[in-house]
Structure 1
Amino acid sequence: MKKKVTVIGSINMDLVTTTRVRPDVGETVLGETFSTIPGGKGANQAVAAARLGADVTLIGCVGNDLFGQQLRQHLQHENITFCEVAKQTNKHTGIASITISDHDNSIIVVPGANAEVTEEAIKPYVKVIAESDMILMQLEIPIHTVEHVIRVASRSNVPVIVNPAPFQMLSNDVMEKVAYLTPNEHEEKRLKNQGDFKEKLIVTKGSEGATVWKNGDSVNIPSYKVEVLDTTGAGDAFNGAMAVALSEGKELIEACQFANAVGALAVTKLGAQNGMPTKKEVEHFLIDRKRREDTK
């Protein structure tokens, strides 16, 4: 039976430009390609989890504009149940302007309709939250909403994974209720100012893999080496995979190994959601890598 993963978070249209030369301030350069690609951390993670076989509900908001129409259709195509919190919003759909150069990216996010995901707007979906096997959130929606959902989930003993990006401080009360936090190395340093929560941390390190803590000791789970095309959405792929793996009962280190494989496959394609692999693709990838290791 499919596990129920509920993602509460942002839904954006990514405006992606590739260029050989990243412009300096005040400089104009010629780009190579331009694409509009569905994105937003919430939607990215929802697509990742859905393609890996979970029963996924996404709670969020888009605008009543062309991007909003396209994103609604896209979520339906990905077999994601979309709980739209404010269907009559006057705000535009959130966008992320992404520049890709030299296999890396820089991003400007304009939240737009994502700001409508408020505590009040979440109230009709309390039952959805309570009946979930796992809740997954990020910080591209109002921070008070994130904290409210964590408290609601805690009352129903539903585990919550929080990807603390873009970084904002969570209250200590809320931090105690979170099952796992998935910062990158920069976010981890800032979380250390809030106290000792290292047993809850799953630190993503890009090509260096991920680090978890077990019995007080740090354990590094290596990444898989692949040909990188676009790193956009790699962390979201990892988070969606962690939510699925942990909801299915995988032990933490095994779940990280699985999530590392998903993240590795994601960076081999252009665009955050385009690169999200299916469960079958991940299984074939892991079998192939094990075969290579065995023949060394």
Structure 2
Amino acid sequence: MITNFGSINIDHVYQVTNLPKAGETLSAKSYARYLGGKGVNQSVAIAKAGGTLRHVGAVGADGNWALEQMADNGVGDEHVTRLDIATGHAIIYVDDSAENQIVILGGANTALTEQIIDDALMGATGWVLFQNETNMIDVIASKGTDAGCKLAYAAAPFSKEHALPLLDKVDLLAVNETEANDLADATGRKVEDLGVPILLVTKGSAGADLWVDGEYFHQSAFKVDAVDTTGAGDTFLGSFLAQYDETNDPAGALQYATAASAIQVTRQGAANAIPNKKEVIKFLEAQKK
């Protein structure tokens, strides 16, 4: 089982000719609404990879659409709390040259309580997964350990104030190449020398590196025509953790996660673009031909 304390966002995306200047009012060319947030993206990936999942989070009164989108993607809301605060969301402007401006409100994601955490951990086994897009991650880590669960931590968005106190507590640390460099700068050591039992470093088109109790694995990226890389890292981590939890096969889980994220970036969107297990298996079989 994987218990994911994860952010739930609504992404409001406006296509504009140019990004607004101070005091300028623009007419948008189009508008789209997407389910977002690193946490929920990871949960969708876990669910679509066949993992046993509890998603723990919070939304406001305006969160029903997000919950419907989660359900459509196989993620239940039994452990999602409704609060009297706005659902986390992002306002995103994208111009004709694909440059963007983004404003994010943490909202309900940053209003988790100890009671929410305690209730979610009742009967939990296996893994507790968390990121830096919710509050109380130190409490989640402590209570997850007390519950007898292993801790998986995605150190994103990167903050050394959040990451450094957790390094000797987590069982799995997931970072991308930029975050790995930031962490190395903050500690004065290479990330592979930090002593974390399982370290996963995603490197985009250069593939991914994995260390499990000192044993090293590398998986090259699959060549695809990418159209949207939003959520690729979340797809990778959720897919990897689901497969590793099921099989205890690091190399196999790494290959599966690489394939899942390769498929995902060929589609528009984030959570809605994540492939299911059948699609990933078919993709991997095609690579052998």
TM more than 0.5: yes
Query: What pairs with 1:54-133 in structure 2 (closer than 5 Å)?
Result: 54-65=51-62, 68-84=63-79, 86-87=81-82, 89-99=83-93, 107-128=102-123, 131-133=124-126
User: How far apart in 2 are the matches of 1:126 and 1:84?
Assistant: 10
Question: Identity of paired residues, percent?
Answer: 32
User: How far apart in 1 are the matches of 2:263 and 2:98?
Assistant: 15
Q: Residues 236-258 of structure 1: CA distance to partner in whole angstroms, max 9, x if unpaired?
A: 10111011011013332322211
User: How far apart in 2 are the matches of 1:261 and 1:117?
Assistant: 33
Gap change, CA 1:171 and 1:73, over 3 Å in 2: closer
User: How far apart in 1 are the matches of 2:33 and 2:269?
Assistant: 9
Q: CA deviation at 1:276?
A: 0.6
Structure 1: any 5+ residue segments left out of the alignment?
A: 292-296
Q: CA deviation at 1:211?
A: 1.7
Higher deviation after alignment, 175-184 or 162-171 = 162-171
Task: State the number of aligned residues.
Answer: 280
Instruction: Provide the secondary structure at the position in 1 that maps to 2:77.
Output: strand
Q: 1:23 aligns with which of 19, 25, 36?
A: 19
Instruction: Provide the secondary structure at the position in 2 that maps to 1:61.
Output: strand
1:147 alignment partner in structure 2? 138
Q: Residues 41-100 of structure 1: CA distance to partner in whole angstroms, max 9, x if unpaired?
A: 1111111111111222110001102xx01112222333323244542x221111123455
How does the TM-score come out when normalised to structure 2? 0.85
Q: Residues 259-290 of structure 1: CA distance to partner in whole angstroms, max 9, x if unpaired?
A: 11111111111111111100000000000011
1:184 alignment partner in structure 2? 176
Are the aligned partners of 2:45 and 2:239 in contact in 1 as well (CA < 8 Å)?
Answer: yes
Gap change, CA 1:214 and 1:126, over 3 Å in 2: closer
Gap change, CA 1:176 and 1:22, over 3 Å in 2: farther
Higher deviation after alignment, 76-85 or 204-213 = 76-85
Q: Residues 184-224 of structure 1: CA distance to partner in whole angstroms, max 9, x if unpaired?
A: 12211222223642653211111221122367586532111
Higher deviation after alignment, 68-77 or 238-247 = 68-77
User: How far apart in 2 are the matches of 1:103 and 1:268?
Assistant: 17
Q: CA deviation at 1:31?
A: 6.0
Instruction: Provide the secondary structure at the position in 2 that maps to 1:71.
Output: helix
Instruction: Provide the secondary structure at the position in 2 that maps to 1:135.
Output: strand
How does the TM-score come out when normalised to structure 1? 0.84
- The amino acid of 2:137's aligned partner reads V
Instruction: Provide the secondary structure at the position in 1 that maps to 2:168.
Output: helix
Q: Residues 221-240 of structure 1: CA distance to partner in whole angstroms, max 9, x if unpaired?
A: 21111111111111110111
Query: What pairs with 1:156-235 in structure 2 (closer than 5 Å)?
Result: 156-168=147-159, 169-170=161-162, 174-192=166-184, 193-194=186-187, 196-197=193-194, 199=196, 200-213=198-211, 219-235=217-233
User: How far apart in 2 are the matches of 1:133 and 1:17?
Assistant: 40
Over the aligned positions, Cα root-mean-square deviation in angstroms equals: 2.7
User: How far apart in 2 are the matches of 1:261 and 1:201?
Assistant: 19
Instruction: Provide the secondary structure at the position in 2 that maps to 1:265.
Output: helix
Q: CA deviation at 1:170?
A: 3.4
Gap change, CA 1:216 and 1:51, over 3 Å in 2: closer
User: How far apart in 1 are the matches of 2:71 and 2:10?
Assistant: 15
